[in-house]
Structure 1
């Protein structure tokens, strides 16, 4: 097999492995979301908040690629579920931050403990250099997916041409 074909085959195997991992992650997340009583996308937004800390709705929209309108709905649902709260900035009362409610988030965290232990065990099998490469890959993968989300939104939200009116002939 030529070097180019071997590389193409390796890249295809990598794509397939990543797709399987991503799909299983979505299924796992949806299972957790169903158990908690929220949607899968709301759970993912909650994870962004958990990773980032207290942020504005606008920042959460930037991180996720969702519209600010969609994020408002997410925040409303997460607040109703007791998982986040809105906090006014004492320096600028117009600014509102979204913060997780740690004691309520803990009830979700327990569902991830087994997976987290498995991932730590997996990561421990890699050298520091390999971990740095994996971190770079994961970071660039997120940036690529965020850009793809923005591209998809522009395709889906693009105004569609209006159908031509049929003329009435007498």
Structure 2
């Protein structure tokens, strides 16, 4: 799992570099792709980021031409973040080979095995989301001076 996660992060960074955005912004874009369209609050919820951080992500993705903000027709106070399909397609094309290979791999599994893998992946996501929340609490509880002075340098 760590190897898959690591190579996924490296692959994601290469795609993000090509797209001219940060790797974390690309991951947020993928969450938005999974959601269809979403509010900033919903993106914060599924990513574990704060609404303030998500606002910055949306601003950068909008500037890069990947998303736009649309007001809800019924409630003009509500704003949805929507993908711009033709620009997303540029990024999606980079994933075609991997997607085809994964689909071929999945064909070798039974329905019961696929259900187990889906449960495993879903629980992994939920565990990571909870871990991200705990990490935010840990970092928030550190003295500000310690955080800014020493990032995560090893102790001597």
TM-score w.r.t. the length of structure 2 is 0.90
Q: Does 1:141 align with 2:142?
A: no
Q: Does 1:77 align with 2:60?
A: yes
Q: Does 1:101 align with 2:92?
A: no
2:74 pairs, out of 91, 96, 100, with: 91
2:7 pairs, out of 24, 29, 41, with: 24
Long gaps (5+) in structure 2: 146-156
Q: Which residue of 2 aligns with 1:68?
A: 51
Long gaps (5+) in structure 1: 1-17, 163-170
Q: Which residue of 1 aligns with 2:105?
A: 122
Q: RMSD across aligned C-alpha pairs, in angstroms? A: 1.4
2:94 pairs, out of 105, 111, 121, with: 111
Task: After TM superposition, give the deviation of residue 159 of structure 1 in Å.
Answer: 5.5
Q: Secondary structure at the match of 2:24?
A: helix
Larger Rg: 1
Q: For residues 147 and 99 of structure 1, what CA distance do their matches in structure 2 show?
A: 26
Q: For residues 128 and 75 of structure 1, what CA distance do their matches in structure 2 show?
A: 38
Alignment coverage as a number of residue pairs: 146
Residue-by-residue CA offset, 1:10-39 (whole Å, 9 max, x unaligned): xxxxxxxx0000000000000000011000
Q: For residues 161 and 24 of structure 1, what CA distance do their matches in structure 2 show?
A: 33
